[in-house]
Amino acid sequence: MSIQVILAQALLGLNAGVFYAMLSLGLAVIFGLLNIINFAHGAMYMLGAFIALVGYSYLDQWFGIGLEVGFWPSLILAPLVVGGLGILIERTMLKRLYKLDHIYGLLLTFGITLILQGLFSNYFNVSGTPYPGQPDALSGVVNLGFMYFPTYRLFAIVFSLVVCFTTWYFIEHTKLGSRLRAGVENPQLTQAFGLNVPLMITLTFGFGCGLAGLAGVLAAPIYSVSPLMGADLIIVVFAVVVIGGMGSIMGAILSGLALGLVEGLTKVIYPPAASTVIFFLMVLVLLFRPAGLFGKEK
């Protein structure tokens, strides 16, 4: 097998990996602070993509608003809307469950997923609607020497990496971030120091959902927009978070990227296993290093 092929598949793997990283990052942040597995994370990702699609193609047709929200505005707007919805869900529903078993949080968000998926399945083809709003500036192709790579995909990779590492830097190296981490470590104590932990929790949940929404907008031009795009992904992202170590920010980012690569290379060696290789790794990690590669067991 030529090195060209491996490089090409690795790059495509990285392409998938940045989405895993972004989603698992949000999931990890939420898990760290709320101890909740947000099953609806995939639905938030889907929602982000749909906001971009509807904003671009359907505003006039559906709501009679003669407006076309392009890709760049969507990139800001969609995360805000999705984050807002996340805040709404946290305020009205999730916060009632904090005293109960964490499993109820998982179940609640599973229900929310069903609702969102069902809603969009009524109006959109489940196998995907192409997103036509990809900016012209990114529509070309870059010759990388070993392959032609669409400019937009390259942009998505770079952009996501920047978002991921900015988030990491923010949490690990700023004052606000250190408060956040304190809230994760010991909510009672942090509260006693006069920090508004409930507000932090709400904003964190909103932020995590917003990240998923952002990933959705970024994914729209590549994968086309489908009501089930999140459902297919969320299970994989769970595995990424578990492998990285639940609650570990850097773990989520790195394992997201790494598993994207692993998946990409599996497609070269034994394509049928590509969708399952991550779960094999997950079982292994859970058996031999239950806290994940980067986590510490609570």
154 scored as a contact of other proteins (CB under 8 A):
no
Phi, psi of 224 (to 5 degrees): 60, 160
Nearer to other proteins, 206 or 227 (CB): 227
Nearer to other proteins, 25 or 112 (CB): 112
The one-letter amino acid at 214: L
# residues contacting other proteins (CB under 8 A): 69
If we measure between CA atoms, which residue out of 153, 167, 130 comes closest to residue 21? 167
239 close to 126: Cβ distance less than 8 angstroms: no
Helix H, strand E, coil C: the string for 114-147 is HHHHHHHHHHCCCCCECCCCCCHHHCCEEECCCC
Among 58, 273, 289, 293, binds other proteins (CB under 8 A): 273
119 scored as a contact of other proteins (CB under 8 A):
yes
Stretch that binds other proteins, among 51-59, 77-85, 198-206, 216-224 (CB under 8 A): 216-224
188's tokens: 């009672």
Among 126, 144, 158, 192, binds other proteins (CB under 8 A): 126
Distance CA 114, CA 237 (A): 18
If we measure between CA atoms, which residue out of 277, 248, 205 comes closest to residue 16? 277
DSSP state of 100: S
200's tokens: 């932090």
121 scored as a contact of other proteins (CB under 8 A):
yes
Among 136, 188, 271, 288, binds other proteins (CB under 8 A): 271
Nearer to other proteins, 125 or 174 (CB): 125
Nearer to other proteins, 191 or 224 (CB): 224
293 close to 251: Cβ distance less than 8 angstroms: yes
Stretch that binds other proteins, among 155-163, 167-175, 203-211, 268-276 (CB under 8 A): 268-276
66 scored as a contact of other proteins (CB under 8 A):
no
298's tokens: 């609570």
Kind plus residue range of the DSSP H or E element containing 150: strand 148-150
238 scored as a contact of other proteins (CB under 8 A):
yes
Stretch that binds other proteins, among 64-72, 77-85, 140-148, 193-201 (CB under 8 A): 140-148
28's tokens: 């990890």
Q: Which residues bind other proteins (CB under 8 A)?
A: 2, 4-5, 8-9, 12, 15-16, 37, 93, 96-97, 100-104, 106-108, 110-119, 121-122, 125-128, 130, 141, 147-150, 222-224, 226-227, 229, 231, 235, 238-239, 242, 246, 264, 267-268, 271-273, 275-276, 279-280, 282-283, 286-287, 290
